[in-house]
Structure formats: C-alpha cells, structure tokens
Amino acid sequence: MRDSSIRAGRLTSRPFTTDDIAWVHEVSQDAELRRWVELPSPYRWEDAAYFVEHLAIEGRRSGQRMEFLVEEDGVRSGRVGVWLGTNGIAEVGYWVDPRARGRGVATASVRAACEWAFATFGLEIIEWRCEVGNTASRRVAEKAGFVVEGTLRKRLFHRGRRVDAWVGSLTRDELGDGFASS
C-alpha cells in the first residue's frame, strides 16, 4: 500500500525518493508556484531535502501523508499529496512543473490519487482548498470532480498573512470505478 504507484494513462504517480530532491528544489523556484504555495524564501536545497525526506518519505511511512511524484512518460512532471485526517476525511494538494502545465497532468493525477485514496483507506470525503484567486488550482479541482462549496474567510496563512480560501470536496459516491494501481 505505502509503496504503491498509481497509473493514469501516460502518467505514473510514485513515492518520492531522495533522487527527487534536485527536481523539487528546481521546481520550487518557479514564480507562479511560489505565488500560491507557502514555501520558505529563499527556497534552499535543505528545504527541498526536508520536503522529500521528512514530509514525503517519512510522512508516507507514518501513514499520515501519501505524497506522490507524478511522471508523464517517465519525466518528472508534478506532485500530488493526500493527507489523511480522521473520521474518513482527507485533504488533497498538488502542483505541477511549469514545463508540464496545460496538458492535464494535474487533473489526471489528482483524480487518480483520489480514487486510489478512497479505495485504499476507505475514505468518505476528500477536501481541497486553495487561496482565492488561484483559478488554475480551482479549474483542476473542478475538472477532477470536486464541488466547490464556498469561500472560507482568512482560512489559509500565506506570505505572512491570513488569506481567504476556496474549499471544495469530492465524495466516494461521486466517483466511478476504474483506477489502476500497481
């Protein structure tokens, strides 16, 4: 289960390894990613190593955080994570390498990760949140099947201040069958 990979067409989502640190460091320099994702500034090599080694690898071992590196035809293209909560609820987060944007990588990998998480952990609902204004993230969530439920005031902390968040959810009942994992 914890070492599972997820396949969705041309995409494979696999667990992170320490070989992915350089790629995480490189992608985390992207201005658009930094605009919407709370990252240390400047983003150092040590920050990428912490994300991969502690959040992705150790988080997976602890069973609380399932982080996947998304590859498109064998090329690192993005990341999707599912954080397990209580009472059958989880939360999803994602970002895509700027070189892979606009090709459906995020939508397909988010949908596949959610299908996998529902089947693997018996979840009832997966939540999604992003800062109001991040229309790219909202489009991905909606295309992946999430229903945007509203705006939560001052719910996220970003760039040293509280910001409003869009919130949505996807329930087990809203999914069809047919995901592939290995």
- Looking at residue 2, its pLDDT comes to 55
- Looking at residue 132, its pLDDT comes to 98
- Tell me if the pTM is above 0.85: yes
- Looking at residue 174, its pLDDT comes to 87
Using a 10 angstrom Cβ sphere, with 0-12 exposed, 13-18 middle and 19 or more buried, the burial of residue 4 is middle
- Looking at residue 159, its pLDDT comes to 85
- Residue ranges of the chain with per-residue pLDDT less than 50: 1, 177-182
- Looking at residue 179, its pLDDT comes to 42
pLDDT tens for 111-151 read: 999 999 999 999 999 999 999 999 999 999 999 999 999 99
Sequence ranges of the domains in the chain: 6-123
Q: Tell me which CATH homologous superfamily contains domain 6-123.
A: Gcn5-related N-acetyltransferase (GNAT) (3.40.630.30)
What percent of the chain is predicted at pLDDT more than 90? Answer: 90
- Evaluate whether 79 touches 52 at the Cβ level (below 8 Å): no
Q: Where do runs of H (alpha helix) occur along the chain?
A: 21-27, 31-36, 45-50, 59-62, 105-121, 135-143
- Looking at residue 175, its pLDDT comes to 77
- Evaluate whether 172 touches 118 at the Cβ level (below 8 Å): yes
